[in-house]
C-alpha cells in the first residue's frame, strides 16, 4: 500500500522567505504526483502535476521536483506572501488511486 508522508505538519515563515515543502512516498511505481492547496473550509486546488517521466514542473513562483527512485518530491514557493498561507497536500497516483499525504499547514507571517 502506498504511504505518503509530509513533514513537518505545520510551519511558519516570514514574508519574503522561500518555502520548501517535502513529500515522500514508499512505492516508486507511480503514474504521476500532484501538489494541491487547500484553504480552510474549502476544497482542494490543483497547483502542479508531474508525470512519472518528468523531473519537475513550474508555474509562476511555484516549482515542484520529482525523484521517483528515492520516492521524494519537493515543492518550492519563491518569495512567500501572506496569501500563500494554506495547507499544501501531496498526492501520488498509482494502482488506480490517488494516495494523499496529510499536508503541510503553512503560515506566512507579514
**Distance in angstroms (rounded) separating the CA atoms of residues 57 and 76:** 11
**Smaller CB distance to other proteins: residue 15 or 63?**
63
**Smaller CB distance to other proteins: residue 31 or 70?**
31
Measuring CA to CA, which residue among 9, 7, 27, 8 is closest to residue 70? Answer: 27
Site of grid cell 473550509? 41
**Smaller CB distance to other proteins: residue 11 or 44?**
44
**Smaller CB distance to other proteins: residue 51 or 70?**
51
Which distant-in-sequence residues (6+ apart) come within 8 Å of 24 by Cβ? 4, 5, 6, 7, 71, 72, 73
Q: How far is the CB of 15 from other proteins (least distance, A)?
A: 27
Query: Which positions lie near other proteins, rule CB under 8 A?
Result: 4, 31-32, 34, 36, 41-46, 49, 51, 89, 91, 93, 96-98, 100-103
Q: How far is the CB of 32 from other proteins (least distance, A)?
A: 4
Q: How far is the CB of 52 from other proteins (least distance, A)?
A: 8
Name the burial class of residue 27, with classes exposed (0-12), middle (13-18) and buried (19+) by CB atoms within 10 angstroms of its CB: middle
Amino acid at each position: 500500500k502506498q504511504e505518503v508522508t509530509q513533514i513537518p505538519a505545520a510551519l511558519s515563515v516570514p514574508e519574503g522567505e522561500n518555502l520548501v515543502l517535502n513529500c515522500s512516498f514508499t512505492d516508486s511505481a507511480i503514474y504521476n504526483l500532484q501538489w494541491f492547496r487547500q484553504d480552510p473550509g474549502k476544497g482542494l486546488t490543483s497547483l502542479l502535476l508531474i508525470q512519472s517521466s518528468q523531473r519537475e514542473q513550474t508555474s509562476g513562483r511555484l516549482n515542484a521536483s520529482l525523484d521517483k527512485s528515492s520516492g521524494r518530491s519537493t515543492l518550492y514557493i519563491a518569495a512567500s506572501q501572506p496569501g500563500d498561507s494554506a495547507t499544501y497536500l501531496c498526492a501520488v497516483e498509482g494502482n488506480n488511486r490517488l494516495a494523499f499525504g496529510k499536508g503541510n499547514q503553512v503560515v506566512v507571517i507579514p
